[in-house]
Structure formats: structure tokens, C-alpha cells
């Protein structure tokens, strides 16, 4: 067990955990940030995607000891009130079915648009291929990403 000071969603949070604990379980079990989901535990499904230093990262594979003082953003901290352009586009297209994977999809999509504000279809597919949606909302996700890109550009 060791103590870690984490910078999550703009706040410093202290946890006492095994240094090998993936940040996913620190978020879910120790900090009550339950928006980040467990799906596979081996970085194959993307449900647990968060931002670390602005990059999309699979939190199930990132030990808490490797985070250091990098900024972590989870779905709860992506925007103040669900008003990030990606979240708004998700609402507009009523993307979700069961909804379980969508936090991860939104975190991957928002990281993509940050580095590439106007991605092509191939670039969207390349960045999003690590995020599985078992319900099959992929075509809506792609539309929503395009809407978010357009709205960001016009903003």
C-alpha cells in the first residue's frame, strides 16, 4: 500500500492503495467516479477510456503508480454540465442504446477532436476502433463525431 496524490478533474485527491492498482479501480472503488466503466480489463474494449495529459488512455491498464502528477480527466470532468460539443452531439443524435460503453466512446472521441478537429472517416475509424459498442450504435457515433467537429469549428 502506498499513498498517491492524483490530479483528477481539476482536483487533487489522495488515495491509499496498492501501487499496481489500475487507475480504473481507483476511480471506481476509491473515488466514487463510476462513469468510467470496466469492460474487459485488457485494453481491448475501450469502455474504461479516460484522458491522461489530454490523451485517450485505457484506465484498466494504467497502474496508479505510473500516473504521477499528470492531469486526469474522466467523463465526470469532461465538462461542467454535459455541454462539451461531443456530449451535446451525442444528445442530438440520441446515440446510445444500453449506454454502458458510451462514456468510453465520448472520451475517445473528445481526445480525437482535440488533436484533430476535423477528422476524415478513416481517421475517425482509426481512433475509435479500440472502442467496442455491443449494441451497434457505431453509425450514430460517427455522425455525432462529425456534428461535434462541425460545431466546434463554427464555434
Partner 1 sequence: MTRIKTSYNRRSFMKVSAAASGGMLIGFSWLNGCVPAASNKKAGLAVPKEWFDINGYIKIGDTGLVTIYSPNPEIGQNVKTSMPMIVAEELDVPWENVIVEQAPLNTGFYQNQFAGGSLSIRLSWNALRMAGATGRRMLMEAAAKEWGLTVADLTAKDGQISETNGERTVSYGEIASKAVGIEIPEEVELKEIKDFKLIGTSIKNVDGKKIITGEPLFGLDFKREGMKIAMIQHPPAFGMTVKDFNAEEIKKMPGVTDAFIIDTTLEEVGMFDEKGFLQLIAIVGESTWPLIQAKKAIKANWETIGELEDSSLHVERLEKALVSGKVQESRVDGNPDAAFKKAVKVIERTYSAPFIAHNTMEPMNFFANVTENAAELIGPTQTPEALEGSVAKLLNMPIENITVNMTRIGGGFGRRLYVNFGVEAAAISKKIGAPVKLIYTREDDMSQGTYRPTYRARYKAGLDENNNLIAFSVKGAGLPDGPIFPKRFPAGAVENYRAEKIGGKTNVTTGAWRAPRSNFTAGAEQSFLDEVAELAGKDPIDFRLELFERAMNNPVGEEHDYEAERYAGVLKMVKEKSNWGEKIPGVHRGVAAYFCHSTYVAEVFDMVMQNGQPKIKKVWCAVDCGIVVNRDAAKNMVEGGVIDGIGHSMYSKLTFANGAVSEMNFDRYQLIRHSQVPEEIEVFFVENEIAPTGLGEPGLPPAIGALANAMYKATGQRYYHQPFATERQILG
Could you give the CA distance from residue 65 to residue 15 in angstroms, rounded to a whole number? Answer: 11
Residues in the chain: 155
Q: Which is nearer to partner 1, 41 or 150 (CB)?
A: 41
Q: Among 8, 56, 101, 113, which residue interacts with partner 1 (rule: CB under 8 A)?
A: 101
Parallel, antiparallel, or unpaired for β 71-73 and 2-8? parallel
Could you give the CA distance from residue 27 to residue 25 in angstroms, rounded to a whole number? Answer: 5
Give the binding-site size for partner 1 (rule: CB under 8 A): 60
Which stretch, 51-59, 65-73, 119-127, 147-155, contacts partner 1 (CB under 8 A)? 119-127
In sequence order, the 6+-apart residues with CB closer than 8 A to the CB of 79 are 87
Smallest distance, Å, CB 51 to partner 1?
13
Q: Which of residues 124-143 bind partner 1 (CB under 8 A)?
A: 124-126, 128-129, 131-142
Contact status: 96 vs partner 1 (CB under 8 A) = yes
Distances (CA, A) of 132 to 55, 98, 108, 127, 128: 19, 13, 11, 12, 8
Contact status: 6 vs partner 1 (CB under 8 A) = no
CA 103 to chain centroid: 6
Q: Under the rule (CB under 8 A), what is the footprint of partner 1?
A: 1, 17-18, 20-22, 25, 28-30, 32-42, 44-45, 47, 74-76, 81-82, 87, 90-91, 94, 96-103, 106, 121, 124-126, 128-129, 131-142
Amino acid at each position: 500500500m502506498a499513498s498517491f496524490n492524483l490530479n483528477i478533474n481539476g482536483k487533487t485527491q489522495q488515495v491509499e492503495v496498492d501501487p499496481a492498482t489500475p487507475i480504473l479501480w481507483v476511480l471506481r472503488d476509491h473515488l466514487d467516479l463510476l462513469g468510467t466503466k470496466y469492460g474487459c480489463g485488457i485494453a481491448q474494449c475501450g469502455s474504461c477510456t479516460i484522458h491522461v495529459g489530454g490523451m485517450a488512455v485505457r484506465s484498466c491498464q494504467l497502474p496508479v503508480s505510473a500516473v504521477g502528477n499528470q492531469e486526469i480527466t474522466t467523463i465526470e470532468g469532461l465538462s461542467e454540465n454535459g455541454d462539451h460539443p461531443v456530449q451535446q452531439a451525442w444528445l442530438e443524435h440520441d446515440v446510445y442504446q444500453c449506454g454502458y460503453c458510451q462514456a468510453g466512446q465520448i472520451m475517445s472521441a473528445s481526445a480525437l477532436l482535440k488533436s484533430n478537429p476535423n477528422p476524415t472517416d478513416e481517421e475517425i475509424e482509426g481512433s475509435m476502433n479500440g472502442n467496442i459498442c455491443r449494441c451497434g450504435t457505431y453509425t450514430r457515433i460517427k455522425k455525432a463525431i462529425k456534428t461535434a467537429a462541425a460545431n466546434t469549428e463554427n464555434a
